Structure 1
Amino acid sequence: MTASTPGPASGAGSARNDPASRLVVTGGDVFDGTGAPPRRADVAVQEGRIVAVGSGLDGDVAVDATGMTVLPGLIDCHVHVMISGVELMAHLERPFSYAFYAAIGNLAATLDRGVTTVRDAGGADLGVKKAVEDGLVEGPRLRTAVSILGQTGGHTDGWHPSGIDVPLFVPHPGRPDPVVDGPDEMRRRVRQLIRAGADVIKICTSGGVVSPRDDPRHPQFGPDELAVCTAEAAAAGIFVMAHAQGAAGIKNAVRAGVRSVEHGMYLDDEAIEMMLEAGTFLVPTLVAPHWVIEAADAGAAISEVVVAKAREVAQIHQESVSRAVAAGVPIAMGTDSGVGPHGQNLRELELMRRAGMQPAAVLAAATSAAARLIGVADELGTVEPGNRADLVLVGGDPYDFAALEANIRAVYKGLL
């Protein structure tokens, strides 16, 4: 069990650590993750998994959740645990290994906010994932992309006008070089990522906001390169996620068969229809441009070009996501944490509500829908028998997203 905050499970005694014991979270309302309204129910847990949900359940140990709502552990489908802000000079002055130590705090801050699973969208390698799995550091369950693939001059190219190359993630034996050109290089690099332990392939089909030398509206990678990427991923049984901000890049990604479009800032009607037809998820990351603007306003040394792009896209982003929501595009929660401070993940929920999502749908996007997107719906994302006992206990109104962080009473990752 991991409890990130002192909560009602405190003092449950040694039985909670006995795998044979049965623990019951009792007296609370359960939001099961499907979008159905919360209902009064007990949740019985044994050996780290939910064994029953219903009324009048008994067990060896009781956790009193009276007056609280029990949520599934939240899932953030787009984080960067190895990034702690986008200020270039800070990035340059930190030793290579510093990011691994900073990730320890980033992981803990994320778990503390009720996010028990994340998809790291670039940066974290297999060692980071294994460190969490083996209990060396505390953090959410990790699905990892390892490296972010982009073309020369694209979103992952660290070249600057001075001629100096400053990659966001320095390649190392467990993190392949992110820049690829042509189908043959693409095939080799995807295979290298699979060998390195990637759970998902991350590709950039458009420019971006935080990359100063490209335009988020311009497409990147050709159809031949994208086809090779999705084919190699499919052969290994994994999905492809696409950083795609401009409409042309979004459409190219959907045509190639990606699982999710990340950001989607310049969605048009055709792109939305294509996503609906293909069942492609949108991971909005609405909070990300706000973080860039806030950091710049606070005095961070961020490129003027980057800040200007963030200011330009913030409102457009919200409007694009609103149209996608109205059309019924499947939505999964993601934040781009790392661009902004880790531990502020729940800010995204209120922005999703403002984009037109009903509150229950917002929570479903952060639980069951997110679990479906990343391929873990058979174990996570809902409060039901057989699933892992990742649970968040919150006081107050669970749909009051502005107050949700303050209302968290306990976070459990694999409650025993």
Structure 2
Amino acid sequence: MTTLLIKNACIVDGTQTEPTAPMQIAIENGRIAEVAPTVTFTADEELDLAGLTVMPGLIDCHVHTIATTANLGANAALPSSLVAAKASHLMRDMLMRGFTTVRDLGGADRGLQQAVEQGYFAGPRLVICGKALSQTGGHTDYRGPYDNRDVSWYVNQLGTLGRICDGKPELMRAAREELKNGAQFLKVMADGGVSSPSDPIGYLVFSVEELTALVEIARGFGTYVSAHLYDDTAITRALDCGITCIEHGNLISDATITRVAREGAFVVPTNITYDLLARKGAEFGLPPESVAKVADVREAGLERLTKMHAAGVTMGYGSDLLGGMQTEQSGEFPLRGRYIPADAVIRSATVDAAKVLRMEGQIGAITPGAYADIIAVNGNPLKDLNLLTDQGAHIPLILQGGRAVKNATTL
């Protein structure tokens, strides 16, 4: 692989309120070898980024790469080959927005991950949980009240976000099977959801015994459990069971926020999805019963951002968008920026996102040893978070593992 020397890199990674002084970044074998004001490094290629802001590749901690429509029941019924084809376009667009790593929270499998790794699909580095784990009538059970067909077909459909497993033995077997199949962490639906028909917000999904067993399996495998959670009672219960990553968390209480900060758990808010669902959910195929649930969590989630930031909770950047709404993936940046400082918003998609993914030192930072995932921005995102929106229009350079997947710096 060729070596690359980046010059005049004024770096923004969310750890400071101003860009750094101009730095040089030496890249070798797809990773960052050295970062300093001056480096002694002979490179095959040099790139001068004077006048641009240099950032680590962005990380989205909550995506659904296989959600080709907001109607997830309909998505589950699509042929897997068609879902894969559509997913390839969704992933390519994510990469072109500057997201060089994403964590899929239900649906993407090892095959889709390998398609990216082997270059068949252009897309972000995928971190996967396989199918999310849910119970009959829980989130990802899309059958509705008058449909009692067998749910075993969910497991083999790429277009399904989750699988149904009832009771401790079945849940444990499903968890072990997902890990065997390449899952890097486990995802459990531990509360009701918006996009499914029969589970109200605050629905305590799975028993304490089941959730505790799931955590034990994950820890034995050297990984963790991430949980779909809104209601404070459900969140507290999940924390008691050893779950360490809270997805959404819109209805979390002040006391639980303090606990999360104290115990070092993570929260991944996904407020852009509720903002869009409230305005355009029906237009993008979300069923009416799901649209009606959005108001329950929309405003509360935004108000909680300020509380969590003040308490020092580590928050990851998350979008959780479905189907055609995925074009608004970067909209979470300015939305969060109305409530918390810009450096904290950026940090949620860089350094803190890497913590959520348990990949500190590998992604989300421009430091020696990290993957050379780097983007350059026209302007300073600390002053204007909208520079990270518009489908990457303000991002002329995107490096992934030291390889340029977009380079318009000379245009």
Tell me, yes or no, whether TM beats 0.5: yes
Q: What is the distance in 2 between the residues matched to 1:151 and 1:61?
A: 54
The equivalent position to 2:15 in structure 1, one of 22, 27, 34, is 34
Confirm or deny that 1:361 pairs with 2:344: yes
The equivalent position to 1:99 in structure 2, one of 73, 79, 83, is 83
Does the 8 Å contact 2:250/2:297 carry over to 1?
yes
Q: What is the distance in 2 between the residues matched to 1:333 and 1:188?
A: 31
In the TM superposition, what is the alpha-carbon distance from 1:108 to its structure 2 partner? 0.2
2:170 is matched with which residue? 185
Confirm or deny that 1:223 pairs with 2:208: yes
2:367 is matched with which residue? 384
The AA in structure 2 aligned to 1:143 is V
Which residues of structure 2 form unaligned runs of 5+? 404-411
The AA in structure 1 aligned to 2:376 is L
Q: How does 1:288-307 map to 2 (within 5 A)?
A: 288-296=273-281, 299-307=283-291
Match of 1:348, SS? helix
Q: Do the aligned partners of residues 166 and 69 (structure 1) sit closer, same or farther apart at CA in structure 2, a change above 3 Å counting?
A: farther
1:15 is matched with which residue? none
Confirm or deny that 1:315 pairs with 2:299: yes
Match of 2:93, SS? helix
1:119 is matched with which residue? 103
Does the 8 Å contact 2:247/2:267 carry over to 1?
yes
Confirm or deny that 1:232 pairs with 2:217: yes
Deviates more, 1:186-195 or 1:112-121: 186-195
Does the 8 Å contact 1:160/1:166 carry over to 2?
no
Q: How does 1:125-164 map to 2 (within 5 A)?
A: 125-163=109-147
In the TM superposition, what is the alpha-carbon distance from 1:126 to its structure 2 partner? 0.6
Deviations 1:67-96 (CA, angstroms, capped at 9, x unpaired) = 101100111110000002313685377434
TM normalised by structure 1 equals: 0.89
Deviations 1:159-186 (CA, angstroms, capped at 9, x unpaired) = 2123155979931198897112222222
Q: Do the aligned partners of residues 238 and 383 (structure 1) sit closer, same or farther apart at CA in structure 2, a change above 3 Å counting?
A: same
Q: What is the distance in 1 between the residues matched to 2:69 and 2:151?
A: 14
Q: Do the aligned partners of residues 189 and 396 (structure 1) sit closer, same or farther apart at CA in structure 2, a change above 3 Å counting?
A: same
1:14 is matched with which residue? none
Deviations 1:360-397 (CA, angstroms, capped at 9, x unpaired) = 11111101111111111131111011111000010112
The AA in structure 1 aligned to 2:29 is E
Confirm or deny that 1:397 pairs with 2:380: yes
The equivalent position to 2:34 in structure 1, one of 30, 52, 74, is 52
Does the 8 Å contact 1:291/1:340 carry over to 2?
no
1:409 is matched with which residue? 396
Q: What is the distance in 1 between the residues matched to 2:76 and 2:168?
A: 32
Q: What is the distance in 1 between the residues matched to 2:148 and 2:328?
A: 33
Q: What is the distance in 1 between the residues matched to 2:150 and 2:128?
A: 22
Q: Do the aligned partners of residues 270 and 180 (structure 1) sit closer, same or farther apart at CA in structure 2, a change above 3 Å counting?
A: farther
Match of 2:209, SS? helix
The AA in structure 2 aligned to 1:45 is I
In the TM superposition, what is the alpha-carbon distance from 1:270 to its structure 2 partner? 2.5
Confirm or deny that 1:333 pairs with 2:317: yes
Does the 8 Å contact 2:14/2:345 carry over to 1?
no
2:354 is matched with which residue? 371
Match of 1:341, SS? helix
In the TM superposition, what is the alpha-carbon distance from 1:60 to its structure 2 partner? 3.2
Give % identity.
32
Q: Do the aligned partners of residues 384 and 166 (structure 1) sit closer, same or farther apart at CA in structure 2, a change above 3 Å counting?
A: farther
Does the 8 Å contact 1:108/1:138 carry over to 2?
yes
Deviates more, 1:179-188 or 1:66-75: 179-188
Deviates more, 1:365-374 or 1:313-322: 313-322
Does the 8 Å contact 2:68/2:323 carry over to 1?
yes
Does the 8 Å contact 2:73/2:143 carry over to 1?
no
Does the 8 Å contact 2:190/2:228 carry over to 1?
yes
- Alignment: residue pair count: 395
Deviates more, 1:114-123 or 1:374-383: 374-383
The AA in structure 2 aligned to 1:248 is T
Does the 8 Å contact 1:288/1:339 carry over to 2?
no
In the TM superposition, what is the alpha-carbon distance from 1:249 to its structure 2 partner? 1.0
Does the 8 Å contact 1:287/1:335 carry over to 2?
yes
Deviates more, 1:249-258 or 1:337-346: 337-346
Q: What is the distance in 2 between the residues matched to 1:250 and 1:275?
A: 10
Which residues of structure 1 form unaligned runs of 5+? 1-18
1:255 is matched with which residue? 240
Confirm or deny that 1:245 pairs with 2:226: no
Match of 2:25, SS? strand
The AA in structure 1 aligned to 2:347 is A
Q: What is the distance in 2 between the residues matched to 1:337 and 1:266?
A: 19
Q: Do the aligned partners of residues 340 and 254 (structure 1) sit closer, same or farther apart at CA in structure 2, a change above 3 Å counting?
A: farther
